[in-house]
Amino acid sequence: MNFLSKRAQAIAPYTAGEQPADKQYVKLNTNENPYPPSPRATEVLRAFDAGALRLYPRPDADGLRAAIARAEGVEEGNVFCGNGSDEVLALSFPAFFDEEGKPACFADLTYSFYEVFAAFFGVKTHIVPLKADFSFDLAAMQTADCAGYYLCNPNAPTGIALPIETVENFVASVGERIVIADEAYMDFYGQSAVPLTKKYKNLLVVKTFSKSYSLAGIRCGYAVGDEALIGGLFRMKDCFNSYPVDAVAQAVCTAAVEDKDYRDKTAALVKRERARLREALLSLGFTVPESGANFLFAGRVKKSGGELYRALKEEGVLVRHWEKPILRDFLRITIGTPEQNDVLLAKLKQILK
Ligand code: PMP
């Protein structure tokens, strides 16, 4: 007897980056921030009254949404919070796409969860290959017969970022279709499309506390957009989970988003290391597109990505590798602390000798 639904049997789930517990790795594989969260967030966590956990959290994360709205320069009604930006992105599929309707359009090389969400929610996809230099083929996307777009900016796993003017032109040119801009890594680039959400009712920007706020363990992300779009996300949330953001997360993320200075300070450290690491990888012969994210996409050396990944793991350094066409020759390397990056570089030099 097989009790699984046809969907559960057929679907290919997303595989998250490994989190091995066998030994201490220099962990550069899941784009976590190498620096701790804001001291203000840490203090709120330390002082949190466990007795308060007796009660359910605020279902709509009102206090946190108000703090995000202040930080983003929008109204609370323009903000939706979920259990990680993955959940926000997941809910966007049933909120904005019909199973029998036109497809969701995105690139072939982008955040691979979009494809899994689409399959899970029965939404058709229109996949547009990246250009040879790994940039988005925006002209081909514009003319796609679709209901809307997922535009990961900066893109994963390439790190390539689109300037705000390019995003605005794209959003304006497809005015009848929704554009969901996934800005998980935007604070490492600094040209968020959030201000454009006031002008364009078809733009939803999705962000996370996991990367620039160093809070991947707390699971909280959010969307900013026109109230009609935010209302759609709330409708889906309330069909699925009334309390996606727990009380601890609401308190800690409120403190974190109110400490933008700290976020910007650590992001600046990551950006400085990104430039240094890229130069070093280029001088080792790697092809490395310019990155706006907290990782580099590096490859095309005399060893395959898989060989490098395995040799590095053996040496205690974890990076991300995919055994897929195009990606096969590349590694995605999260920017670590200067010390971690030095270990990575030393091991790579040794492996490539
Ligand atoms: N978008 C992109 C492009 C990502 O790489 C990730 C992290 N895997 C996410 C969204 C989801 O992040 P989180 O659920 O931690 O907010």
**173 DSSP β-pair partners:** none
CA 344 to chain centre: 23
Is beta strand 148-152 parallel, antiparallel or unpaired with respect to 125-128? Answer: unpaired
The rounded Å distance from CA 2 to ligand 1 centre is: 33
Kindly state the average pLDDT of the residues 285-303: 97
**Cβ(83) to ligand 1 under 6 A?**
no
State whether the beta carbon of 33 lies less than 6 angstroms from ligand 1: no
pLDDT (0 to 100) of residue 90: 98
Residue 16's pLDDT is: 86
- Is 184 a pocket residue for ligand 1 (Cβ < 6 Å)? yes
Domains (ranges, CATH) in the chain?
17-36+261-352 (3.90.1150.10), 39-258 (3.40.640.10)
Above 90 in pLDDT, residue 18?
A: no
**335-348 average pLDDT score:** 98
Query: Does residue 85 have its Cβ closer than 6 Å to ligand 1?
Result: yes
Does residue 157's CB lie within 6 angstroms of at least one atom of ligand 1?
A: no
**Run of H or E including 266:** helix 260-283
pLDDT band at 139 (very low <50, low <70, confident <90, very high): very high
CA of 113 to the centre of ligand 1 (A): 9
User: Ligand 1, atom 4: nearest CA belongs to which residue?
Assistant: 184
Q: What is the mean pLDDT of residues 212-232?
A: 98
Please indicate whether residue 183, judged by its CB atom, sits closer than 6 Å to ligand 1.
Answer: no
Token reading at 334: 């999260």
Assigned token pair, 21: 């517990």
pLDDT at 92 over 90: yes
Q: Which atom of ligand 1 is nearest to the CA of 30?
A: 8
Q: Half-sphere exposure (CA, 13 Å, Cβ side) for 348? A: 26
Measured distance CA(254)–CA(214) in Å, rounded: 13
Q: How far is the CA of 207 from the centre of ligand 1 (A)?
A: 8
d(CA 29, CA 269): 18
**Spatial contact of 177 and 147, defined as CB atoms under 8 Å apart:** yes
Mutate to test the pocket of ligand 1, among 111, 180, 212 (most ligand atoms within 8 A of CB): 111
**Residue 223 CA, ligand 1 centroid: distance in Å:** 13
Report whether pLDDT(1) > 90.
Answer: no
Residue 166 has what pLDDT?
98
For residue 245 and ligand 1, the question of a CB distance below 6 A is answered with: no
Does any ligand 1 atom lie closer than 6 A to the CB of residue 92? Answer: no
Confidence at residue 50, expressed as pLDDT on a 0 to 100 scale: 97
Q: What is the pLDDT of residues 258-281, one digit of tens each?
A: 999 999 999 999 999 999 999 999
First-residue to last-residue Cα distance in the chain: 55
Using a pLDDT cut of 90, give the percent of the chain over it: 96
Q: How far is CA 207 from CA 47, 231, 247, 323, in A?
A: 26, 17, 19, 28
Q: Residue 350 Cα, ligand 1 centroid: separation in angstroms? A: 32
What average pLDDT score do residues 293-302 get?
96
CA distance 323 to 286: 18
The distance of Cα 237 from the centroid of its chain, to the nearest Å, equals 20
Average pLDDT over residues 222-235: 98
The structure tokens 């310019």 sit at: 290
Q: Is the CB of 254 under 6 A from ligand 1?
A: no
| Mean pLDDT score, 320-346 | 96
Q: What is the DSSP string of 28-94?
A: -SS---SSPPPHHHHHHHHH--GGGGGSPPPTT-HHHHHHHHHHHTS-GGGEEEESHHHHHHHHHHH
Residue 24 tokens, joined: 């201490």
Contact, 220 vs 81, CB < 8 A?
yes
178 burial type by CB count under 10 A (0-12 exposed, 13-18 middle, 19+ buried)? buried
40-88 pLDDT, tens digit each: 999 999 999 999 999 999 999 999 999 999 999 999 999 999 999 999 9
The model's confidence at residue 196, banded by pLDDT at 50, 70 and 90, is: very high
Confidence of residue 325 (pLDDT cuts 50, 70, 90): confident
What pLDDT does residue 21 have?
86
Residue 208 near ligand 1, beta carbon < 6 Å: yes
Q: What kind and span of H or E run contains 275? A: helix 260-283
Q: Measure the CA–CA gap between 181 and 185, rounded to whole angstroms.
A: 11
Q: Is the CB of 159 under 6 A from ligand 1?
A: no
CB-ligand 1 contact for 156 (6 Å cutoff): yes
Answer yes or no: is the C-beta of 111 below 6 A from any ligand 1 atom: yes
Q: Which residues sit opposite 28 in a β-bridge?
A: none
Where b means 16+ CB within 10 Å and e means fewer, 33-53 reads bbbebbebbeebbeeeeeeee
Quote the ligand 1 centre to 212 CA distance (angstroms): 12
Distance between CA atoms of residues 40 and 214, nearest Å = 13
User: Ligand 1: does its nearest atom lie under 6 Å from the Cβ of 32?
Assistant: no
In degrees, rounded to 5, the angle at the alpha carbon of residue 314 between the alpha carbons of residues 349 and 325 is 80
Q: Is pLDDT at 23 greater than 90 in this prediction?
A: no
What is the mean pLDDT of the segment spanning 337-353?
A: 97
- pTM for the structure as a whole: 0.97
Residue-level pLDDT at 117:
98
- Dig out the tokens for 226 from the structure: 């026109």
Does 110 score more than 90 pLDDT?
A: yes
Mean of per-residue pLDDT scores for the chain: 97
Mean pLDDT over residues 146-154, rounded?
98
Determine the atom of ligand 1 nearest the C-alpha atom of 86.
14
- Reported as a pLDDT band with limits 50, 70 and 90, residue 326 is confident
